[in-house]
Amino acid sequence: MPREYVDRGQFNESGFYLEKSLLGPATLDCLKELATKDAVAEEGRGGVRNLLDVAAFRKLAESAPLLGLVREILGEDAFVVRGILFDKTSGANWKVPWHQDVTIAVTNRNETEGYGPWSIKAGVVHVQPPATVLEKMISVRLHLDDCPAENGALRVLPATHRRGKLGQAAIEAEVSRGLTVICEAEAGDALVMRPLLLHASSPSSVPNHRRVLHFDYANVELPTGLEWRERQVFSCQELVERG
């Protein structure tokens, strides 16, 4: 499987690219400590949801390096809407089949045309929105550890985000004829991708920490009655202070 990466200029066509060395060594050390102290997964579980509830991780998601990167793609009004920590270890080493990320976190359930099915994840209401919402989102996966192929690196099928939301038969068809790219990364690298891009990962063959901070960003308003669960609304004074 190829390991070549497209550059940022080809992102709209490919649906992903690797931003090298977005985080420096000092920041990485700090984030690893925070992940150990403030984002501890339950026994046997390889992740922590609702990561933006931890102030330090929200600050990171809204920091200039990340928002600058995101807003070059989504526009100046883009905002963070979800945060998750993934960590493959010997005690939580799982396979993720080919899929698209098709759910968003909202404040409450309000039956709305085009939205559904609904689910509850870690106590938070989630719903599948129309593809038109997902097309105005991107995900940024920050690697806290080196992630070679043998440590469960993400695999993607380039350009499949352009197919819209796919059913299982369509996913299998894309996988059968697609060219898989392994997104190997080093600690500090960020994988930027569209939620509708088909992706998967294998169990790690050398289980070690494979910590990834996954942040979702959007630049789209939800219909009346639905609100992004993680979106923060700032007062005029706060906006001035934030620059």
Structural domains in the chain, sorted by start:
8-101+137-242 (2.60.120.620)
Identify which has the larger pLDDT, 234 or 214.
214
Q: What is the pLDDT of residues 38-59, one digit of tens each?
A: 665 554 455 788 999 999 999 9
pLDDT at residue 45, as a whole number: 53
Beta-ladder partners of 143:
212
- Could you tell me the pLDDT band of residue 210, with boundaries at 50, 70 and 90? confident
pLDDT at residue 46, as a whole number: 57
Contact 217, 78 (CB under 8 A): yes
Q: Is residue 236 scored above 90 in pLDDT? A: no
How many C-beta atoms surround the C-beta of residue 161 within 10 A? 25
- Could you tell me the pLDDT band of residue 202, with boundaries at 50, 70 and 90? confident
Q: Is residue 241 scored above 60 in pLDDT? A: no
Q: What is the pTM of this model?
A: 0.90
Closest CA to 37 of 62, 15, 25, 55: 55
pLDDT at residue 95, as a whole number: 74
pLDDT at residue 239, as a whole number: 38
- What is the arithmetic mean of pLDDT over 169-185? 94
Q: Is residue 125 scored above 50 in pLDDT? A: yes
Q: What is the pLDDT of residues 76-109, one digit of tens each?
A: 999 999 999 988 665 555 678 999 999 999 999 9
What are the angstrom distances between the C-alpha of 79 and each of 59, 118, 120, 218, 229? 12, 23, 23, 6, 12
The three-point CA angle 65-100-64 to 5° equals 5
Q: Is residue 234 scored above 60 in pLDDT? A: no
